[in-house]
Amino acid sequence: MDCAVLFLTINQEKNIMQVTIRSMLTACFVFSALLGTGAEAVAAQKKATKKAVTQVCNPDPRGQILALSCASCHGTDGRSVGIIPSFYGKSPEYLEAALKDFKSGARYSTVMIRHAKGYSDEEIRMIAQYFGTVWQKNK
């Protein structure tokens, strides 16, 4: 192999390395920019989750007061004994929907229809929020 060919081969390898390094640096730059955006999104999600957890763990105290009438049959945390249905561990959304269904007559019950009709939608939401979160505090 003569010197001219060897020189061209070395220059070609050098150029290939430069292109490769530039490509890698560009990829790193783009990736780090995406990570920065992702980190901001993760931080925003953590903040939203913390706010939601605070709301779940600190329901409106009026809900607890309203829930006292439920406790005589369903227990103070929704764990009833005997034949009365237990709703311990159900979500606030599930409980609110069930109570509203009792109130509207879409869900039949001999007793719960009459109880649910006595509450406003806001009171039903507070009761559901209380019973839907009290079990999480007792873990």
pLDDT tens per residue, range 123-137: 999 999 999 998 887
pLDDT tens per residue, range 109-121: 989 999 999 999 9
Question: For residue 118, what are the domain limits?
Answer: 61-137
**pLDDT averaged over the chain?**
77
Same domain? For 2 and 20 the reply is yes
Same domain? For 133 and 69 the reply is yes
Domain total for the chain?
2
Which residues are CB-neighbours of 127 under 8 A, at least 6 positions away? 63, 66, 67, 70, 95, 99, 119
Same domain? For 97 and 117 the reply is yes
CATH of the domain at 94: 1.10.760.10
Same domain? For 10 and 66 the reply is no
pLDDT tens per residue, range 43-54: 666 555 455 444
Same domain? For 13 and 31 the reply is yes
The tokens of 136 are what? 């999480």
Same domain? For 104 and 88 the reply is yes
Indicate the pTM of the whole model: 0.58
